Amino acid sequence: MKLTLKIWRQKDAKSKGGFETYTVEASTHMSFLEMLDVLNESLIREKKEPVAFEHDCREGICGACSLVINGQPHGPWAKTTTCQLHMRQYKDGDTIVVEPYRAVAFPVLKDLVVDRSSFERIIQAGGFISVNTGQPQDANSIPIDLDTASKAFDAASCIGCGACVAACPNSSAMLFTSAKVAHLNMLPQGKVEAQQRVLNMVKQMDLEGFGRCSNITACEAECPKGISIENIARMNREYWAASLGSEKIA
């Protein structure tokens, strides 16, 4: 099938970007990224610069791939990353608009590649349990209720791709931040520093320039791992409880 692609091209972070139009011949069995590979291969043959996009595992778990495809982060399939989106979705003659994530906290580095290091700093602010190597007791000495373990797992399955920020009309990072807060704070191991964690991580999230959550739920709708906004509610209550009900400050 023949497709028309409108792709955002931008030389580097400082340059101004714009859309360019390409046509590509694709097969329905390809993944979306394989279709871009085909485009790039043909651009290289013409001695033109290929389109830069991030990708790695191509099985939906590393979180490297991004892209806003026809207005949706990771494209139209629910709970699917761009790398797992297949061209079965499209038909001959379709036009596909491909853009990078848009958020000041995710500046464009080149073409479709954005800098997501703001997420790194949010994790560094408190997204861990302070335990040194070699300290722990036997793993089974901490029984954990099945539902709690499975909820913690669901929150922890975040792949850090940033689709939540890209989808949010406010460019808020609440789903990402809350998923980590919820994962750690609901486990007994993480409770020890739960209050400090939520205070520090929210502080860092604000510093990075993300927008404010207004519960639009676009993040939940577009999250390739289906992470729930229940985590946001949890972070909200833990934050005000820690701010008002403890002596801790961020």
Partner 1 sequence: MKLDGKVPPGPLPEKWTKYRSSMPLVSPSNKMRLEIIVVGSGLAGAAAAASLGELGYSVKCFTFHDSPRRAHSIAAQGGINAAKNYFNDGDSVGRLFYDTIKGGDYRSREANVYRLAEVSNNIIDQAVAQGVPFAREYGGMLENRSFGGVQVSRTFYAKGQTGQQLLLGAYQALSRQIAKGTVKMYNRHEMLDIVTIEGKTRGIITRNLVTGEIERHAAHAVLLCTGGYGNVFYLSTNAMNCNVSAAWRAVRRGALMANPCFTQIHPTCIPQSGDYQSKLTLMSESLRNDGRVWVPGKKEDAKAIQEGRKTALDIPEGDRDYFLERRYPAFGNLVPRDVASRAAKVACDEGLGVSPTGLAVFLDFSDAFERYGRSTANIKGIHNPDAATILQLGQKVIEDKYGNLFEMYEKITGENPYKLPMKIYPAVHYTMGGVWVDYNLETNIPGLFVLGEANFSDHGANRLGASALMQGLADGYFVIPYTIGNFLSKDIKTPKISTDAPEFVKTAEEVQARLNMLMNIKGNQSAESFHRRLGKLMWEYCGMGRTAEGLAKGRPLVRALREEFYRDLYVPGTMNEFNPELEKAYRVADFLELGELLMIDAQNRNESCGGHFREEFQNDKGDAVRNDEEYAYVAAWEWMDTSKDPILHKEELTFEYAELKTRSYE
Partner 2 sequence: MSWFIKFITSSLGQKLVMSLTGLFLILFLLVHLLGNMQLFRDDDGYAFNAYTKFMTHNPLIEAVAILLYIFILLHSIQGVALWLQNRRSRGPQAYAVKVTKTTGTNSFASKNMASLGILIFVFLAIHMGDFWWKMKNGTAPVVQYEGEEYQDLYTIVVASFQVDWIVILYLVAMVGLFFHLLHGFQSAFQTLGINHKKYTPAIKFLGWVYAILVPLLFAAMPIYVYFFK
Beta carbons within 10 angstroms of residue 169's beta carbon: 9
Nearer to partner 2, 55 or 151 (CB): 151
- Whether residue 230 contacts residue 205, with contact meaning beta carbons closer than 8 Å, is answered with no
Distance of alpha carbon 67 from alpha carbon 100, whole angstroms: 5
Binding partner at 162 among partner 2, partner 1, none, C-beta below 5 to 8 Å by kind: none
Binding partner at 1 among partner 2, partner 1, none, C-beta below 5 to 8 Å by kind: none
| Interaction between residue 191 and partner 2 (CB under 8 A) | no
- Whether residue 225 contacts residue 79, with contact meaning beta carbons closer than 8 Å, is answered with yes
Binding partner at 50 among partner 1, partner 2, none, C-beta below 5 to 8 Å by kind: partner 1
Beta carbons within 10 angstroms of residue 219's beta carbon: 28
| Interaction between residue 137 and partner 1 (CB under 8 A) | yes
Binding partner at 149 among partner 1, partner 2, none, C-beta below 5 to 8 Å by kind: partner 1
The closest alpha carbon to 95, from 24, 194, 172, belongs to 24
Tokens 């329905």 map to which residue?
Answer: 28
Question: Which of 44, 136, 191, 240 lies at the binding interface for partner 2 (CB under 8 A)?
Answer: 240
Q: Tell me how many residues contact partner 1 (CB under 8 A).
A: 79
Question: Which of 40, 42, 70, 89 lies at the binding interface for partner 2 (CB under 8 A)?
Answer: 70
Question: Which of 162, 213, 225, 227 lies at the binding interface for partner 2 (CB under 8 A)?
Answer: 213
Residues 6 or more apart in contact with residue 125 via CB below 8 angstroms:
200, 201, 203, 204
| Interaction between residue 113 and partner 1 (CB under 8 A) | yes
